[in-house]
Structure 1
């Protein structure tokens, strides 16, 4: 038994490596980019892993593709279903199409139009639901049972976690002396996969999760030591509006994450502005959360380069422009200083 096998039975850093061999067939090896000006702001080298350039516009394609690729032929013949805020739904729709399978997705009725139109373009069947009234997972299970579909959760799935971990694996292949990796946390699959990849590379490497302050279910859960639910959160980071961590990722994250920090809404918008100004990356709010977290914890990290996962870029243009206009004006008043978090 390897050192990493003790974490969660069936999910280890070896699983991330196995996922890498499959995911690389279709996933884009997204760029690691740096900015000398932003490095000066933070006081260290910062490498941004730009998953906005991934197929379907987010890291979610990795996990969905690996889950579908490793499913049985009977499961692929019957089709797949998932509940999602939008990015995982797009990812599953494309992954299913690449395997000549059908996909059904249950998404919020207020999901960004850009995400819904992309899902439709990939040929998936859509069931909308009300985030504040309906229980999404119950709807998913009902439809799956009625139609004989295989559920591929956005986070609570071993293959999805392993596939998501290939983001960090690629980062460590390209920059092997990272002292920390900072990732957004929603359901927790990306953080869990990244933590497993880091453990396999260097057990001392820190993986730090970041959540919006209004959507701090993982922060609260890790602090209490048990799954803790919150009310449906109100945050611009629509991909991180979870009310409770997913079970399997939580088992990994509570053991392996160095910390989970929370950031206010203004800091998320500021991070979107920094990403556009210094990296020419158009990140959705959920995708910019990790950079906002780095600005909060940078002075507490060991000396050395840090990797930041920009997890996605699927945002409606009017919303993006509105957020960016405000944040660009605010950050341009003092472009060489990190924002003050309140």
Structure 2
């Protein structure tokens, strides 16, 4: 088992390597959650996530003979960057297997540290099996993403920093995939404050650790599906499961809509960009999945390596849900002034037009008429309803909104 002394030793190895990231109070999210909320900004860590801590602690601990053989690892992305950085720093060749759907930003960042990247399978677990094949074939040293004492100890250094910065914390909230982060936090935090609550958050589409804790046995899922790719793990680790059973107080679930909302809220209100896994703790607070009222809560923002295409989709969907963006279609007579009349009505309601398409040749459009599609920037849902009501009153048939 991992002990507090292992975490303290990891901290020494990480001096001058890992950033001591900020632990800061958030007035906005404290108000929303009804608790004192402190964020640990591991999204600002080197390589963009907490994974550097465990990966570097493992690689730096390797005996000379194991270093000479090089290292191999499997990762959805963040562990890949941590291993690549640690290997580059130590002058060790590294091969990283990542799922074929891994975000491009994570693949490119891993390659930028000099690692060889192999894309294989659709999930972390598929990549893991391929990495084990490479290990056996080439004799490389395997660096596990979570089920390793050195990796767990490295992640536990986060709790040391949080409790030094805010000693009065009585609850820690963190994402759970394979369990390396939550296990390290629990080992360190419970050794310092035995009555402190340690709560994990997992994606509803990948609830392996949640199911394992409830059943008190390691559960393997048939498949996983979530925008939180960093915690999309079918099976938690052997060692991490034991620590979770002993020390973690609870694990809760959040769905992808709640995760997306948390990403958007942190971007707009917190001025911070998070990936899906990094936002699940915030999602749990906003969705009231954890009884935090009256508590001093530390939330680990575990990473910020999100694909820009995913961010753009989340932003657009969020704007639609909040009524700040809408698309509408209607049919006009194809004659001079018809489009101008429509636009004047929209302008009068103070909606900003950001896209317009005027189509009079599509097969489904009647001759002598035109289909107009508009994308509007609006204030809220009531503003949209007012615009639609005005258009209908003027005789326009709204085909889609």
The TM-score with structure 2 as length reference comes to 0.78
Q: 1:24 to 1:132 in 2, by over 3 A?
A: closer
Partner of 1:246: 237
Question: Which of the numbers 108, 114, 131 marks the counterpart of 1:123?
Answer: 114
**CA distances 1:15-53 after superposition (whole Å, capped 9, x unpaired):** 111111111220011112332222211122211111111
Deviations 1:128-170 (A, max 9, x none): 1112698433321221122121000000100000001111211
Higher RCO (Cα < 8 Å, 6 or more apart): 1
Return the alpha-carbon distance in structure 1 between the equivalents of residues 72 and 165 of structure 2: 34
1:187 aligns with one of 161, 178, 185: 178
After superposition, residues 51-66 of structure 1 pair within 5 angstroms as 51-66=42-57
- Matches of 2:274 and 2:319, distance apart in 1: 14
Q: Is 2:25 the partner of 1:24?
A: no
The one of 220, 228, 235 aligned to 2:211: 220
Query: Counterparts of 1:169 and 1:134 in 2: how far apart (Å)?
Result: 30
- Shift of the alpha carbon at 1:251? 0.5
Residue 39, structure 1, aligned to residue 57, structure 2 = no
Displacement after TM superposition at 1:302 (Å): 6.3
Q: Which runs of 5+ in 2 are unaligned?
A: 325-378, 381-401
Name which of structure 1's ranges 41-50 and 179-188 shifts more when overlaid on structure 2.
41-50
* Aligned counterparts of 1:105 and 1:221: Cα–Cα separation in 2: 28
Find 1:153's aligned residue among 144, 156, 159.
Answer: 144
Cα distance in 1 for partners of 2:102, 2:73 equals 15
SS at match of 1:231: coil
Q: How does 1:43-192 map to 2 (within 5 A)?
A: 43-131=34-122, 135-192=126-183
Question: Does the CA-based 8 Å contact 1:89-1:119 persist in structure 2?
Answer: yes
Pick aligned residue for 1:283 from 248, 262, 274: 274
How far residue 330 of structure 1 moved from its aligned partner, in angstroms, is: 3.9
RMSD, aligned CA: 2.0
Residue 141 and residue 164 in structure 1: after superposition, are their counterparts in 2 closer, same or farther (change >3 A)?
same
SS in 1 for 2:205: helix
> TM-score, normalized by length of structure 1?
0.91
Q: Structure 1 pair 284/158, CA: closer, same or farther in 2 (3 Å)?
A: same
In structure 1, C-alpha distance between the alignment counterparts of 2:280 and 2:35, rounded to whole Å: 19
- Which protein is bigger by CA-based radius of gyration? 2
Match of 1:4 in 2: none
Q: Distance in 2 between matches of 1:194 and 1:58?
A: 15
Q: Is the 8 A contact 2:254 2:284 kept in 1?
A: yes
Compared with structure 1, are the counterparts of its residues 250 and 141 closer, same or farther at alpha carbon in structure 2 (3 Å cutoff)?
same
Partner Cα separation in structure 1 for residue 302 and residue 180 of structure 2:
12
Local SS of the residue matching 1:292: helix
Q: Please tell me whether the aligned partners of residues 262 and 280 of structure 2 are also in contact (alpha carbons under 8 angstroms).
A: yes
The answer to whether the 8 A contact 2:252-2:289 is kept is no
Query: Structure 2 vs 1, CA of residues 276 and 91 (structure 1 numbering), >3 Å: closer, same or farther?
Result: same
Cα deviation code 1:72-98 (max 9, x no counterpart): 112122211101101101110000001
- 2-structure distance, mates of 1:225, 1:270: 31
Task: Answer yes or no: is the 8 Å Cα contact 1:273–1:328 preserved in 2.
Answer: no
Question: Contact conserved, 1:182 with 1:293, CA < 8 A, in 2?
Answer: no
Unaligned runs of 5+ in 1: 1-7, 336-342
